[in-house]
Each structure stands twice: as C-alpha cells, then as structure tokens.
Amino acid sequence: ASGAGVSMLDSLAAWFFETGGAPARLADDCGELPCGGGGGGSCPHLPQDPLSRACVGRLAELCHGLRGRGDACDACLESHVHDLEAHGCPSRGRPLLRWYCGGGGAGGHHVCDVRIGTNDVALLPPPSEALPRIPTVTIAPGVEMPLINLGGVHSHPSNYSAWLQLGGRGLDTAMMYGDDVQVQVGDAVAASGLPREELFLTSKVPCCPAESFTSWCVWYDKEYKDLDAYTRSEIDARLLGVARVDLLLLHWPCATMEETVATYRSLERFALDGKASAIGISNFNASAIDALFAAGLTVPPAVNQVGFSIGGHSESRLGRDLDTLRKCREKGIAFSAYSPLGGLSGVDVLHHPRVLKVAAAHNRSAAQVALRWVTQQGVVAVSASSNPAHLASDLGSFSFNLTGAEMKALAEI
C-alpha cells in the first residue's frame, strides 16, 4: 500500500523472490496510473519474461532503499552487475534496471513491474519516502553539525555524490587524506546542486606529533612543513573549491605544546577572518585539552574528533576514552567519532554476539546498531563507504533507539 515504510516495488519484489508466485491485481491501487488497471498495453518495452521475477527480487535485495535515486542506485547496480546477470537481469540497459533507478518512464513515473503469469502491468510511482532527516548538534553559535558525516581517505575514498543524493549533508575530509580526495569532495559538493548552506564541510590541517606514527606525517614533512597553518588552511579550502569550511580541525597535537598552541592560533585567525564557521581539534586527550585551554584561547575548539566505538573507548593516548569524552563535555566541546564501527578497537564489532543480538531485536544491521550506540550519546559519527546501500543504511540508523540496558551492555564490550 502506498505510504508504507517500504516502497511498493520493494514489497512486491521481496514477495516475488521469496515465494516465486504472482501477486493479486493492484488495479485498485494503480488503475489510475498510465499502465495500471489491467490491460498493461502502455508499457510495451517492459521485459515480460519470467526471469523478471528473480531480477526484481534481487534488485530489491541488493539495492534496497535506493529505488529512484539516480546515480546512487546506478552505482549499486554497477557494483552488483554480475550477480544481477545471474538472476535474470541481462544488462543494465534493460528498462527494468533503468526504470528501477529512475531513468525515465511515461508521465514522470519510474518503475513498471510485471505480474508473472498475466499480461497485467502495474506502474509504480517514484519513491514517496522522504529523504532521511539527519539530527544535528550545535557546535558553536549558529553552527549546526549533522550527527553523521561521510569521510574517506586516499586509499579508501567514499562515494560522496551518492551520500549527498541519499540525504547525507555532512562531509569529512583532511589535507592529509590527499589532494585527490579533497578535489573529489569539492567536486561532489559542486555537482550536487545543493545550496552551500545545506551542506556541512569538515576538514583538517596537519600537525604531527613527535613520533611519526603514520606515513601521512612523512608525506606532510616533505610537502607542507615549511608552510604556516594559515597558508595550509587556505590551500585546503582551494582544493575543496570553497570560500569557507564549516569546521576546520587541527588534525593532531604537534610535537610540542608550544607548537600546538601556535598552530591553533593560526586556526583562530582563519575563523576570525570568516574562512571557517568553527574550528576544533582532533586526537586530543583530556590532558592535551587542559594544556591547550591553559594557554588562553580566543576561539575555543568546537569539536574534538577521535576514534570512538563499541569496544573502542579505553585508549587515552589519542583521546579514545571516556575521560576525554567527559572532559569535552566539561569544556563545552562536541565529541566526534571516527571509526565508529570499531575498526580501530581490536574487536570484531559487526560480528560480536551481543551486537548481533541487539540488531536482531530491532530488525536492524550490526552496523546500524554500532552507529546508533555512538550517536545516541550525542556523539557525532564519521563513517565511510563507497557502497550506496551501506550509505543508505548509515543514514537510516536514526530510525530506532536503543534501550538503556542495551546501551549499557554494548558499552561493556
């Protein structure tokens, strides 16, 4: 029925796939639409072979939630093209695939679905479900940050365009992720057609600790070490193709606190010049935060972004612990989590029995539970994926709440 949480096509396709049967006529629901109401003669190009049943079922299973979503849906089909061919979808060019993704149709409608065993065809309208509403957190006066943002690095870039098309509005990047990533993010912003004020763009300028624990620092020493942080920030904004970033973070504490404070002063000046709506820090633990504040700040940090997840909230060196979370709340700093699915925790969060039990109780995925555990604490999550289906799932993670007992049980992993 129209208005249900799951689209009509996805409901039908799941029914096809599970039972192999043909649903009853939908004349009452679709009779007024261009190729509904029996007859079915208005859709001559729709494939009518029995393989359509398995094809539609597999489409809904692999690309659920992406119907009619254009490029994001196309990317999902592309990533599963061989699987789809094995289930009776002969090519992405056939109308069933093209229309599934919103590539055209009479009167602006997108998808015709065959009722196997009859000549009836019901035209299904474009997706009626609204894009997900993403909660925000106030990080500075007049500055609202989405509770979930999409990141990505040089070795594993994300699908930024699909994220924006699916309703995501927060993008997270950094100078150290590579010039190519910065340009990709900027291109996605420009191509989206969305008003700049609807988007939230976070970036980071480098400063490396005494011990170069990452190859990024080796690259930074060769490319940017002799440039002051203000100039690095300007280069970063130019790579992104924007006049202003919404949030600019100091990526790490520097080798000394004196250097850290001096670098942060450059970020303060960048904000006061109107080139960043807010500034902040990343990978600062509680003691580093105290030391920074002790220097006296003109613009306090709005955000501290650290690794934080189920199974990954007890390492203090880079602020990945509950003491740092408490310190941020004490200082009025929003807490943000990269690697929220537990990739840095040493725990297989997505296959942990306790996580899977909670996921089953809510009919959600383990990844959605892991994200919700983070965001339900008011912590901003930074996820990453190139798979549109995973992006849609991440954006859908606000559709349920964990109980207090579940939050506690997951915190104990």
Predicted pLDDT at 72 = 74
Specify whether the CB–CB gap between 112 and 13 falls below 8 A.
Answer: no
Q: SS3 sequence, 138-196?
A: EEECCEEEECEEECCCCCCCCCHHHHHHCCCCEEECCHHHCHHHHHHHHHHHHHHCCCH
Active site residues: 177
Residues of the chain with pLDDT under 50: 1-53, 90-95, 103-129
Amino acid symbol at 239: L
Give pLDDT, residue 209: 79
Predicted pLDDT of residue 91 = 46
| Tokens read off for 352 | 């942990």
pLDDT at res. 76: 77
For 299-349, how does the pLDDT look when each residue is reduced to its tens digit (9 = 90+)? Answer: 999 999 999 999 999 999 899 999 999 999 999 999 999 999 999 999 999
Mind listing the pLDDT tens digit for each residue in 26-62? 222 223 223 333 333 333 333 333 444 456 556 666 7
Looking at residue 88, its pLDDT comes to: 53
User: How far is 278 from 268, CA to CA, in rounded Å?
Assistant: 9
Residue with tokens 């500075």: 140
Q: What is residue 85's predicted lDDT score, i.e. its pLDDT? A: 61
Q: For residues 368 and 187, give the distance between their C-alpha atoms in angstroms, rounded to a whole number.
A: 28
Q: What is the structure's pLDDT at 244?
A: 97
The predicted structure's pLDDT at residue 64: 64
pTM for the whole structure: 0.71
pLDDT at 131: 73
Q: Report the pLDDT value the prediction gives residue 128, as an integer from 0 to 100.
A: 38
Closest to 186 (Cα-Cα) out of 248, 239, 246, 249: 239
pLDDT value of residue 75: 75
Q: What is the pLDDT of residue 318?
A: 92
Task: Count Cβ neighbours within 10 Å for each residue of 258-288 and write b for 16 or more, e otherwise.
Answer: eebbebbbbbbbbbeeebbbbbbbbbbbbeb
What are the structure tokens assigned to 172, written together? 């997270």
